[in-house]
Structure 1
Amino acid sequence: MDKKKVAVPLVCHGHSRPVVDLFYSPTTPDGFFLISASKDSSPMLRNGETGDWIGTFEGHKGAVWSSCLDTNALRAASASADFTAKVWDALTGDELHSFEHKHIVRACAFSEDTHLLLTGGLEKILRIYDLNRPDAPPREVDKSPGSVRTLAWLHSDQTILGSCTDMGGVRLWDVRSGKIVQTLETKSSVTSAEVSQDGRYITTADGSTVKFWDANHFGLVKSYNMSCTVESASLEPKYGNKFIAGGEDMWVHVFDFHTGQEIACNKGHHGPVHCVRFSPGGESYASGSEDGTIRIWQTGPLTNDESEGGAAATAAAANGTVAGKVNVGAAEEVSRKIEGFHISGDEGKTKEKDEAAGKE
C-alpha cells in the first residue's frame, strides 16, 4: 500500500498565475488533449497524454475562469473576467468568435453535438449561442438564482446543469422549456460539477464533501466527507471504481468509489488545488493549482482484473513509461524537459504578465 502512494507526476509549467480550470477532450483520432484556464489570461492547450505544450490562446484581457474543447477537439472556448467568452480554432489558435457580456463570465461549455456554446457568470444569465449563426442573439433560459460558477450539458444536450458561487445546490434546466426542473440540494456552494463519461453520475464538490448523484433520477447515490475543504472532484471514467479530489491541503487524494476509503495521496503542489480531472481513458489525471502548475499523475495499479494489461501497465509506470506507449526515461528528466519549454518569447511573457496584473 505504501508503494502505491509514491507518485512522481509530469509537471507542466507555463502559466504565470493560478490554474483554475482543467478540461480533457474525448479521445480523437489524434489522441486526447488538455486545456487549462488561468488567471494569467492565456488558456493553454497540451497533449493530454504527455503534458507537452501545443499552444496558447492569446487575446483575453483578464483572468480566464473556464475553458473547454468541443467533442472533436477542433475548437476551444474560454470564459473570462474581461466580460467575454471566446471561441478559438484549436488547430491554429486563431480567435473565431468573441461574445460580449455585461459582467464577468465564469463558465462555458460546448454542447455534445458541438453546435452550441453555453455561458454563464456574474450576470446570473445562462446564454446559449448557436455557433452556426454566431451573429444571431443568444437564447436565454430562466435566470440563475445566483452568480454562475459551473456549467455542463447532459442528456444529449437536453438538460443544462449549473451551480452558483454564492449559494448551495445544483440546478437543472430543461433546454426545451428553458425552466429549472430540478435542484440537487447541498449545504455549501458547489465548486465543481462533472457529468460522468457514461452519463450515469453527476460528481459534485461542495465544502468538505464529495457527492455522487444519479444523473437520470437525480437521487443522491453517495456522499463522502473529506478531511479538508475540497474545490474539485472527478470520477474515474472507465470503471468508475475510484475518484480524485483536491483542495485546500494542496494534495491530490484518490478514493475508492464504493467505500470512500483513501487509496493514495499525491503531494507536490505548493498551493491549494483548484481543479482535478481524469483523462478520458482513466490512465492518468491532472491537477491545477494556485502555484501555477499543472501536474499529470499516472493512475496506480489496476484492481479486480480490470485490464489484462494491468501488470504490464504497473511495470511500465514504474519504469517511467507514459500510458504504456512512450518511454520517457526518468520522471525528473521529463519534468526538466517540460520546464524548459518557452511558451512564448520573453516579450510575449512580459506582455502577458502586464495584462494579468490588476485585471483579475
Structure 2
Amino acid sequence: MTSIADSSPMLRNGETGDWIGTFEGHKGAVWSVCLDTNALRAASGSADFTAKVWNALTGDILHSFEHKHIVRACAFSEDTRLLLTGGIEKVLRIYDLNRPEAPPREVDKSPGSVRMVSWMHSDQTLLSSCTDMGGVRLWDVRSGKIVQTLETKSPVTSAEVSQDGRYMTTADGSTVKFWDADHFGLVKSYNMPCTVESASLEPKYGNKFIAGGEDMWVRVFDFHTGDETACNKGHHGPVHCVRFSPGGESYASGSEDGTIRIWQTGPLTDHEETKSHAANGSVGKVKVSVEEVSQKIGGFHIAEEGKTKEKE
C-alpha cells in the first residue's frame, strides 16, 4: 500500500506491481498508510486532519477519526483491534476499532511533533519518534508514560521492529542503528554514505539490511560488518522509504520521483542455502535469475537486482 501527496492512497500487488485499487475520501496529502495483520483493513493518516480505516477488499471507508492537526503516522496493533495515530498535535491516540464511536485513549503528550509510530511486545509497548528532535520514545501502553528514550543525534525518520522481535532498526541522520528490542541496548551502529531516511533488516536470516536516502540509491549492507554489498540505481529523487517483503525474497523502495521500485533479492549464500535446505528437507540450489527486468505499470517500476551494481 502506498501513500502519496495527492490524497488518494493506492493498493498494488506486491509481486507484480499491478494496480488493485485507489482509496478515495481524503481531502489532503496522505502521510502514512498501513495494513492490518490479515490485510483485510487499511489505515491512513492525512493532512486533512483525519485518520481513516478502510475495507482493504472493497475500498469502502469503515471509520474516519477527526484530529485537530495533520496526522503524520498510523499503525494497527498486532491483534488488529486498535489503531495508533500521531502527528503535528504532539499527541498519541489509541482508537478501539471494536468501539469506533468511543473517544480515543490519549497517552502523555509527546515532546515533539510525531513522525512515526509502531507497536511492539505484543501490543504492550508503543514506539514513536519526532520530526524536530532525536530519539525513539518507548511508551508503556498500560500507564501511558514514556518508560525509556533511545538517544540519537538526529531525528529518527524510520523505525522497524524485526519479524522475530529481536531487533529495532532505526535511521537517523547518516546512521543506521540496531537496538535490542527486549533490553533496548545499542547492538550495532553504521555510518552511511549519505543522509538516510529509511532502513530495513532482512526478515528471514537477518544477515543483511537495506538503506535509502538523499543520494537516490538503495544500498544493501552486511548486517554483521556494515560492508556495502550492492547498490541499486534507478530512482531520480530522494528515497523516502525502504522495506523488505515478509519473506525476504524482495524489497521495495519509494521515492520522491513518484515511483515505487521492487528489487528482487539476490541468490542465497552457501550458508543460507544450507539453512534453507535443512529447514525444508530439500536438496539442490536455489535459482534466482539476475537477468535485467524492467517494466512500467502505471507509475510502478519493477526491477530485479540484475540492475544493481555489485560492490567490487
1:151-170 to structure 2, matched below 5 A, reads: 151-170=117-136
Deviation of 1:46 after TM superposition, in Å, equals 1.3
**In the alignment, is residue 82 of structure 1 matched against residue 48 of structure 2?**
yes
1:153 counterpart SS class: strand
**In the alignment, is residue 228 of structure 1 matched against residue 228 of structure 2?**
no
**In the alignment, is residue 202 of structure 1 matched against residue 168 of structure 2?**
yes
- Specify the alignment match of 1:300 in structure 2: 266
2:135 counterpart SS class: strand
| Equivalent residues of 1:302, 1:310 under 8 A apart | no
| Equivalent residues of 1:301, 1:310 under 8 A apart | no
* Of 308, 313, 317, the match for 2:287: 313
Give the partner amino acid of 2:140.
Answer: D
1:88 counterpart SS class: strand
Q: Give the direction of change, closer, same or farther, for the CA distance of 1:128–1:340 in structure 2 (3 Å limit).
A: closer
- Specify the alignment match of 1:63 in structure 2: 29
Deviation of 1:310 after TM superposition, in Å, equals 8.2
1:32-47 to structure 2, matched below 5 A, reads: 35-47=1-13
| Equivalent residues of 1:301, 1:311 under 8 A apart | no
- Specify the alignment match of 1:96 in structure 2: 62
Deviation of 1:240 after TM superposition, in Å, equals 0.3
- Specify the alignment match of 2:207 in structure 1: 241
* Of 218, 221, 229, the match for 1:252: 218
Q: Deviations over 1:157-177 (max 9, x none)?
A: 000000000000000000011
1:258 counterpart SS class: coil
1: CA distance between counterparts of 2:123 and 2:79?
A: 8
- Specify the alignment match of 2:237 in structure 1: 271
Structure number with higher helix proportion: 1
Give the partner amino acid of 2:290.
Answer: A
- Specify the alignment match of 2:280 in structure 1: none
Q: Deviations over 1:96-125 (max 9, x none)?
A: 111000000000000000000000000000
2: CA distance between counterparts of 1:275 and 1:247?
A: 8
Identity between Structure 1 and Structure 2 (%): 85
| Equivalent residues of 2:268, 2:286 under 8 A apart | no
- Specify the alignment match of 1:129 in structure 2: 95
Deviation of 1:318 after TM superposition, in Å, equals 2.7
2: CA distance between counterparts of 1:81 and 1:313?
A: 45
**Deviates most, 48-57 or 110-119:** 48-57
Please list every run of 5 or more consecutive structure 1 residues that lacks an aligned counterpart in the other structure: 1-34, 321-330, 342-360
2: CA distance between counterparts of 1:109 and 1:313?
A: 36
How well do the aligned residues superpose, as a CA RMSD in angstroms? 1.4
Deviation of 1:137 after TM superposition, in Å, equals 0.1
Q: Relative CO higher for 1 or 2, CA cutoff 8 Å, sep ≥ 6?
A: 1
Please list every run of 5 or more consecutive structure 2 residues that lacks an aligned counterpart in the other structure: 278-282, 301-312
List structure 1 runs of 4+ shifted beyond 2 angstroms. Answer: 307-314, 317-320
- Specify the alignment match of 1:149 in structure 2: 115
**In the alignment, is residue 179 of structure 1 matched against residue 140 of structure 2?**
no
| Equivalent residues of 2:33, 2:43 under 8 A apart | yes
**In the alignment, is residue 217 of structure 1 matched against residue 189 of structure 2?**
no
User: What's the TM-score once normalised by structure 1's chain length?
Assistant: 0.79
Deviation of 1:313 after TM superposition, in Å, equals 2.8
User: What's the TM-score once normalised by structure 2's chain length?
Assistant: 0.91
2: CA distance between counterparts of 1:305 and 1:222?
A: 22
